[in-house]
Amino acid sequence: MIQLKHLTVRYPNSAIPALSDVSLAVDQGQTVLLLAPSGGGKSTLAQVLSGLIPQDIFAVVDGRVSVGGIDPLTAPPGQVAAQVGLLFQDPEAGFATLTVEDEIAFGLENLRVSPDQMAARIQSSLDQVGLSGFNARRLDSLSGGESQRVALACLLAMSPPVLILDEPTANLDPASTREFFATLASLRPSHTIVLIEHKLDACWHLADGVILLNAHGQLMAHGEPSHVFDENRVEILESGIWLPADFADAASSFAPVAEPMPPPPMPGLPAVHLEGVSFAFPGRPPILQDVGLDIRRGSFFALVGPNGSGKTTLARLMMGLLPAPTRGEIHVFGDPLEKLSLADLTERVGFVFQNPEHQFVTDSVQDELAFSLKARRWPNIEVEKRVEELLVRFELVDKATQNPFTLSQGQKRRLSVATMLAVGQRMLILDEPTLGQDRRTTSALMGSMAGLNRQGVTILIITHDMRLVGGHAQQAAVLLDGRIAFVGSPQALFRNAELMHAARLA
């Protein structure tokens, strides 16, 4: 079904190939896991198989590619779309309409599906992804996890024989992740599936094979999962790729993520104080209801909850990125939010978006890092020094001249965090900070956050990863149905089995 022969891909302004001399075959009906370190070419391979490279994303491609008997490098887009469905890491990047039903119908209309068949396909695809009744929902009202499931429904409705899923559960809570893979299991007999995923404990047993690439985009191994994991365990761990717990002891898998517990919070006024905060968009149901919360200065705080519970909305309210709350008050380092200009607020608090692309404003990595420094009129020599430090710290030296939008998702995430560290705010809010990161870069990124916290910077992470919560946070808050359901230590949260289940965290 899929054949690659000596595939090499080079991006403009990059001396190192993203993929180098890759040859392999995937049989019809197989499900294969595609694993590599961050920046190892996983997303590039997905884009080649779906025809996005080189037809929409320019790159120099050498070698031969065949998917379902067609060449996605040269075939007309409609012909490729009939064979291959690609689920993006950022589902919003592929949306073209306003409502869920219209979005699913959009692809079917391009395939000239009859109205009668269309209605049935739309309903069936929504049922498969657990979104029955979402037909009329506006896409801009969905949580990140709901958006991802709508994107999957769009693919399922079009019935391509090959599905390429690029970290499909990155934005999903633990319970939704299990549900997603249960859906995927039901698709296996009738689809050839290429799955890029870091949550291997939840999905490796679904795979018939594993494709393993190294950091240079070269093929390390391809074969049956148990054989690949057993025979390449040392190389996998050394390259920073996550291993299923069945193949790596807990110490080697998880210890690098954990850091020494942060120092106790500073006394005095909280970094952020919320009192009776409610929020709703005009004419919509409330997203947040009577939220009260204090985030102490110098603390390492985790905000968790199921998809759609309002976590990102709450963070955007704290940053002044949404209209004022319908009720309640927000204070940031002692001052009412409404009295702070955006410039004053961003001097105090940095916000790393869930989707890194939403904060990029230049056409090179080094310019992105320098942008906020130049806006604050730093001397050029200091700007150059700081940019070089950040390039080294976040392993982006060889990407300095590359366009941020052509980076891998893991590299984009590291760049988005680095831009917030350039200035030195007193608080950082990070929405899913380890999205797209391998084991090694997750450890490095969270180590940086822990180091900043030891220097007194307040850290707020929004995450579905309970390893991060248990390994780093002093306190955690659970947001459930728009209300605060818990505030306390991670250990107390983990002992509350009923709440963990209700909040879809276990």
Compute mean pLDDT per 10 residues along the chain, 506 residues long, and list them. 97 88 97 93 95 93 96 92 86 88 94 92 91 93 79 91 91 85 85 94 95 96 95 89 77 42 66 98 93 96 94 93 95 96 89 84 95 90 95 91 86 88 87 84 87 93 93 96 97 96 93
Q: Tell me what pLDDT residue 247 has.
A: 83
Which residues make up the CATH 3.40.50.300 domain(s) of the chain? 91-162+173-190, 258-333+426-505
Radius of gyration for the alpha carbons in the chain, expressed in angstroms and rounded = 23
For residue 7, give the nearest of 62, 73, 68 by alpha carbon.
62
| CA 480/CA 288 separation, integer angstroms | 9
Q: Token digits for 135?
A: 């037909």
The answer to whether 141 touches 310, Cβ cutoff 8 Å, is no
pTM for the model? 0.82
Measured at the CA of 140, the angle between CA 137 and CA 144, to 5 degrees, comes to 95
| CA 110/CA 284 separation, integer angstroms | 31
Place of tokens 């002692």: 334
Beta-bridged to residue 301, according to DSSP, are 460, 475
CA 36 vs CA 183, 422, 439: distances in Å: 24, 28, 11
| CA 75/CA 9 separation, integer angstroms | 18
| CA 341/CA 173 separation, integer angstroms | 34
Tell me if residue 116 falls in helix, strand or coil. helix
Q: Tell me what pLDDT residue 128 has.
A: 83
Is the CATH code 2.40.50.100 the one for domain 91-162+173-190? no
Q: Tell me what pLDDT residue 259 has.
A: 45
Q: Tell me what pLDDT residue 255 has.
A: 40
Q: Token digits for 336?
A: 């009412």
Q: Token digits for 241?
A: 């790729």
Q: Tell me what pLDDT residue 375 has.
A: 86
Query: H/E/C letters for each residue in 140-162?
Result: HHCCHHHHHHHHHHHHHHHCCCE
As a whole number of angstroms, the longest Cα–Cα distance in the chain is 67
**DSSP string over 469-484:** HHHH-SEEEEEETTEE
**CATH superfamily entry for domain 258-333+426-505:** P-loop containing nucleotide triphosphate hydrolases (3.40.50.300)
Sign (positive/negative) of CA torsion 235, 239, 242, 248?
positive
Q: Tell me what pLDDT residue 254 has.
A: 38
| CA 400/CA 391 separation, integer angstroms | 7
The phi and psi torsions of 236 (rounded to 5 degrees) equal -65, -45
| CA 242/CA 142 separation, integer angstroms | 29
- Alpha carbon 354 to its chain's center: 7
Q: Which helix (H) or strand (E) holds 100?
A: helix 100-110
Query: H/E/C letters for each residue in 297-308?
Result: CCCEEEEECCCC
Omega cis (within 30) before 37: no
